[in-house]
Amino acid sequence: MMEFFNQGEFGVAKARSFGGELVVGPSLPMSSFCYSIFRLDPYIGCSHSCVYCYTRFLPGFSHGSLSARIDYPKLFRKAIEKWRKAGVAVPPFRMSALTDPFQPIERKSMLSLSLLRLSLTERVPLIINTKSTLVGESPWLDVIKELSGEGLAIVQFSIAFLEDNVSKVIEPGAPPPSKRLDVAEKLSSEGIPVVLRFQPIVPFLNSGDEYVEKYAEEAKKVNAKHVIAEVLRVLSWKELEVYRKVMNEDNFRKLVDKSNWERFLLGSHKHPKREIRQRIYNEIKASIEKMGLTFATCREGLYQMWSAPDCCGIFLLKNKILRYTLYEHFYGEKQGYTYLRPDDYSKIPIPEVRRKLQAHDALLKRIIQNRELLSTIVS
């Protein structure tokens, strides 16, 4: 579906089939738990080269090559115009879901800047997710300030490791976490709601009590509003080998002990056993809430741990629009939110979007009907 051209340091891609790209594909964690499945990904590939990145396994995504989707803003404008004419609420879009929207390629192509300006004009709410420091510079910062001033944007900074030297090994192309924290503090001082994504949490590396307390202190220092946590998932055991470089041998042996891991439900990934994840999340929750911030897990059914109305930080936006998840099935709709209901999907005049949303809904229904599965993922 893509056409590629060499152009200096990066390629150019033209989207032939655009609508389906606005929605993340259905999967157990996304279809079950995630409110922000609507995505804006103007780039293919990512120069951060994080060793834990899920996109390594997706077709067309590569750490070694980058492509800019040059017609992305134009196509998104057309899609939003169709969406609004149908009278269906426009949900928050995640910019970006699969690649960093403000990686170095953005300085030349400025596609994300165009999307920011378009979102301001079209009143599209955004969850901006980045490891970049570019959001602290003009003209990007100026537009984000305008968006947040209208209640249309929050900025999530992905910060898993507090030490620059550890990050250099695990996230070799990303700015150091110390710089990300500086920019997070700058955005907060400008009145922009900031959320920290504490993920991935690697057991025995960045999961200890002292580490978690330090993380909570840093979150408070930069005036973050909310912290989201998620424990590491891996596809193969060899993915853990890289962490040997930043751990003592004792802790590394604990990390690779297969008895501490279990298979992710309905999938081939593995993650730490439930009791380990719960213990880690409880420690983070206590430290975060001690600092007066809200906390939630990401893509987990541990709802009793949340101290925030939703996991993503959508509660910080002016118009709070959600899709149905397992939470709504068990506990009903959240007060103060507008819902994009399954009945609304058929009204969206973009066939690929409609099909993707219906696929998410179909998978969610299958999960709900599987009582044995439900008993292991929701509590």
Distance CA 365, CA 260 (A): 31
Per-residue pLDDT band at 60 (split at 50, 70, 90): low
Q: Which residue has the higher pLDDT, 2 or 328?
A: 328
DSSP 207-260: -SHHHHHHHHHHHHHTT-SEEEEEE--BSSGGGGGGGGGGS-HHHHHHHT-GGG
Per-residue pLDDT band at 23 (split at 50, 70, 90): very high
Residue 168 has pLDDT above 90, yes or no: yes
> What pLDDT is recorded for position 165?
98
Residue 375 has pLDDT above 50, yes or no: yes
Per-residue pLDDT reduced to its tens digit, 320-357: 999 999 999 989 999 999 999 999 999 999 999 999 99
Q: Give this prediction's pTM.
A: 0.94
> What pLDDT is recorded for position 5?
31
Task: Decide: 180 and 171 in contact? Cβ < 8 Å.
Answer: no
> What pLDDT is recorded for position 277?
96
Distance CA 379, CA 373 (A): 12
> What pLDDT is recorded for position 65?
76
The proportion of the chain whose per-residue pLDDT surpasses 70, expressed as a percent, equals 93
For residue 349, give both structure tokens: 């005049």
Per-residue pLDDT band at 239 (split at 50, 70, 90): very high
> What pLDDT is recorded for position 373?
79
Residue 201 has pLDDT above 50, yes or no: yes
The proportion of the chain whose per-residue pLDDT surpasses 90, expressed as a percent, equals 84
Residue 278 has pLDDT above 90, yes or no: yes
What is the DSSP code (8-state) at residue 143? Answer: H
Per-residue pLDDT band at 15 (split at 50, 70, 90): low
Per-residue pLDDT band at 54 (split at 50, 70, 90): confident
Residue 96 has pLDDT above 70, yes or no: yes
At position 139, the amino acid (one-letter code) is P
Neighbour-count burial for 22-46, b at 16+ CB within 10 Å, e otherwise: bbbebbbbbbbbbbbbbbbbbbbbb
**Mean pLDDT score of the chain:** 92
Neighbour-count burial for 225-255, b at 16+ CB within 10 Å, e otherwise: bbbbbbbbbbeeeeebeebeebbeeebbeeb
Q: What's 114's domain CATH number? A: 3.20.20.70
- The residue segments making up the domain with residue 248 are 2-377
Distance CA 194, CA 344 (A): 31
Residue 1 has pLDDT above 50, yes or no: no
Per-residue pLDDT band at 8 (split at 50, 70, 90): very low
Per-residue pLDDT band at 2 (split at 50, 70, 90): very low
Rounded mean pLDDT, 246-273:
93
The total domain count for the chain is 1
